[in-house]
Amino acid sequence: MSIKSKVVKVTSAILVGSMLIGGVTGCGSGSKAANSDTIKITNVSYDPTRELYEEYNKSFVSYYKEKTGKDVEVTQSHGGSGGQARSVVEGADADVVTLALAHDITLIEEAGLIEPGWLNEFDLDSSPYTSTIVLLVRKGNEKGINDWDDLTKDGVEVITPDPKSSGGACWNFLAAWHYADVKFGGDETKMKEFVKAIYDNVTVMDSGARGATTTFVENGQGDVLIAWENEAIATVNEYPDDYEIVSPSVSILAQPSVAVVDENAKKNGTEEVAKEYLNYLYTEEAQKIIGKNGYRPSNDTILKEFADKFDLDMNLTNINEFGGWDQAYEDFFKDGAIFDEIHQSTAE
Amino acid sequence: MAKARKFRGGRVIPGFGLTFGITIAMLSILILIPLASVLFQSFRLSPSEFWGIISMPNVKHAFATSIGCAFIAAVINSIFGIMLAWVLVRYEFPCKRIMDGVIELPFCLPTAVAGITLSKMYSTKGEIGGPLFDWFGLRISYTHVGLVIALIFIGIPFVVRAIQPVLEKLDSQYEEAAYILGASRRKTFFKVIIPELRPALLTGFGLAFARGIGEYGSVIYISGNNEKEHTQVVSYIIMQKLNYLEYESATAIALIMLIISFILLLFINIIQIRQSRRTNNI
């Protein structure tokens, strides 16, 4: 009896402990508007924007103080984009969301928290910045990787996350698919063969983009990482002697979207600040911060200022060419769809 | 153990009603209601849909991988667990208390931290995995071996903590008697000590095994999650489904996992009951 009771004791201690921790942090984030002088808003965003919004929030706080004389405090939350959307649906008190995919914001809209038509609430389909998919290789590029077809060569080890578990990883797949489409003029059999050859070279398939970067950079696996441009730029900035970016001839334009979570903002009385917060993303000042952090500014003049950072000659497709996100999911990533077809046929 | 569950009045300390009520309430909120919802969710699928999901090749491979690796890890944990518990109970050495505490580290360390650290150390460029790869061509991270290592890490405290108290209570007189009666050391160990440890060992094995089948955090970083190499585990497949909001498929797989764990624990309990009956009869 003592064996079991000891195990029970330990587990119950852990349970109680974790409940306490959960309770304390829960209370911490729940005490909004405690100080009436400062307005508090919460921005729920996705993983790689951490550094961007840290810098942006500082800039916005001083801008808003100057304009209205009021103090704002912005609380950030980061995580996988899909998971973040789910947490807002399930009740996280976000005033604004800045997520990786328009589709994730649509999920929140369907839950009734965001009013329909949010896509046109801000300029350029509510995407103040964009990004794309590039190839990150080790310095010297020993395997001679210059474009997507080099990833199909024997002996090239590719690192990319699993599209079936990470929404972000779907973009990698679609970018490669688009290249094959251009190359084979829409011959689907050949396109499948081509993309299959790339995925046959994948040695480690992480569950998310950050995990894949860790595998490639920290654990030294693989020759090439299929990555978000902003992640690749951040990696190269951190280790300029170890990595270089290869821009493929063809890729896909990703448009991260922003929106005010209308229901929450109404409840918190933050509608005006929240709107201002997102509008400020389009100002020159903010666009420069965006460019500095490796995202492509939507303002063309400022984008050109960063021409040395971004390869502006890449031929970029976008999700609409695949019939929108929901259609792409049906066609490619659903159980038994194209991704399963090319990736499982080798398993049997 | 079974006797304690019976309703009993007239205790020195009252409060049975209150504590029993709280117990039932806690059990319902934390365990019974969530489990019932799993069952309920998966009933939304028709039997053929349910079967379709369960019999997908990647799901079948994941079950084989999870159960196989968790079993191997639990076996290894049982062997090393006995050794560790033996050392901690029977010998005196400096820093024994600290070592004893370290055993529990896998309980409190976030499993993701363990997973990331292990995958780095055992990768072909890591501190341990590097030499192993250079000298023997062994790959550990992103293979089944890495998966087993992660499961050993999270499972070891279950076995050690199950065996320790029994070993502490085991009187060395038994060993002395066996020795005087002419048993060899090996015979003493296998015929006198192991039978005493067996119920505890089974509990530890069962807990480590059940935990290993469902583990997510620590294996996700080290397993490579490659369907081609069958290194996806069941909980990873469930996460895949959840990420695309396919709650029904996710719960269908979870239900099967639940049933497997249930059968496993039942099986271990039956063996334990038989064992205790036998030893009580002597």
Tens-digit pLDDT string for chain B (282 aa): 444 555 555 677 778 888 899 999 999 888 888 888 888 888 888 888 888 888 888 899 999 999 999 999 999 999 999 999 999 998 998 888 898 999 988 888 888 899 889 988 998 888 898 899 889 888 888 889 999 999 999 999 999 999 999 999 888 888 888 889 988 888 888 888 888 888 889 889 998 998 999 899 899 888 888 887 888 899 999 988 877 777 888 889 999 998 888 888 888 888 878 877 776 655
* CA dist list (Å): A29 to A23, A258, B92: 10, 22, 49
Chain B nearest-CA distance from A12, in A, is 12
pLDDT (0 to 100) of residue A34:
43
B contact test, residue of A86, A207, A345 with most B CBs within 10 A? A207
Interface of B with A in 19-48 (CB under 8 A): 30
> Sorting pLDDT into bands at 50, 70 and 90, what band is A134?
very high
Question: What's the whole-number mean pLDDT along residues A320-335?
Answer: 86
Chain B nearest-CA distance from A220, in A, is 6
* CA dist list (Å): A163 to A106, A234, A325, A336, B127: 20, 22, 13, 13, 30
To the nearest 10 degrees (0 to 180), the angle between helices B247-281 and B33-42 is 130
Which residues in chain B are closer than 8 Å to A83, comparing Cβ atoms?
243
Q: Which CATH number fits domain B47-281: 1.10.3720.10, 3.40.50.300, 1.10.1660.10, 3.30.70.580?
A: 1.10.3720.10
How would you classify the pairing of strands A243-246 and A129-138? antiparallel
**Residue-range domains of chain A with CATH:** 31-127+255-305 (3.40.190.10), 131-254+314-344 (3.40.190.10)
Chain A nearest-CA distance from B203, in A, is 8
Interface of B with A in 197-216 (CB under 8 A): 199-200, 203, 207
pLDDT (0 to 100) of residue B272:
79
Answer yes or no: do A344 and B141 touch at CB < 8 A: no
Chain B nearest-CA distance from A143, in A, is 19
Contacts of B53 (CB under 8 A, 6+ apart): A335, B45, B59, B249, B252, B253
pLDDT (0 to 100) of residue A9:
52
How far apart (Å, rounded) are the C-alpha atoms in residues A15 and A284? 50
Q: Amino acid identity of B260? A: I
- ipTM of this complex prediction, to 2 decimal places: 0.72
Answer yes or no: do A4 and B116 touch at CB < 8 A: no
How far apart (Å, rounded) are the C-alpha atoms in residues B186 and B47? 54
A345, pLDDT greater than 70: no
Answer yes or no: do B104 and A10 touch at CB < 8 A: yes
- H helical segments located in chain A: 2-30, 50-68, 81-89, 102-110, 123-126, 167-184, 188-200, 209-217, 229-238, 262-268, 271-279, 284-292, 300-305, 324-328, 338-344
pLDDT (0 to 100) of residue A19:
47
Chain A nearest-CA distance from B190, in A, is 21
- For B196-253, the pLDDT digits (tens) are 888 889 889 998 998 999 899 899 888 888 887 888 899 999 988 877 777 888 889 9
- For A202-255, the pLDDT digits (tens) are 988 888 888 888 889 988 899 999 999 988 999 999 999 999 999 999 999 988
Q: Judge whether A252 and A173 are in contact, CB under 8 Å.
A: no
Contacts of B273 (CB under 8 A, 6+ apart): none
How far apart (Å, rounded) are the C-alpha atoms in residues A274 and B131? 54
Stretch (H or E) spanning A150: none
Answer yes or no: do B239 and A10 touch at CB < 8 A: no
> Sorting pLDDT into bands at 50, 70 and 90, what band is A113?
very high
Stretch (H or E) spanning B140: none
Half-sphere exposure of B183 (CA within 13 A, CB side): 16
Which residues in chain A are closer than 8 Å to B58, comparing Cβ atoms?
340, 344, 347
Share the mean pLDDT of chain A. 85
pLDDT (0 to 100) of residue A22:
43
Stretch (H or E) spanning A44: strand A38-45
Q: Judge whether B98 and B104 are in contact, CB under 8 Å.
A: no
Contacts of B216 (CB under 8 A, 6+ apart): B111, B233, B235, B236, B239
> Which residue is it, tokens 């397993």?
B223
Contacts of B95 (CB under 8 A, 6+ apart): none
Return the structure tokens found at A91: 């009740």
Q: What backbone torsions phi and psi does residue A127 show, to the nearest 5 degrees?
A: -120, 95
Contacts of B242 (CB under 8 A, 6+ apart): B250
- Measure CB to CB from residue B203 to each of A3, A207, A211 and give the nearest one: A3
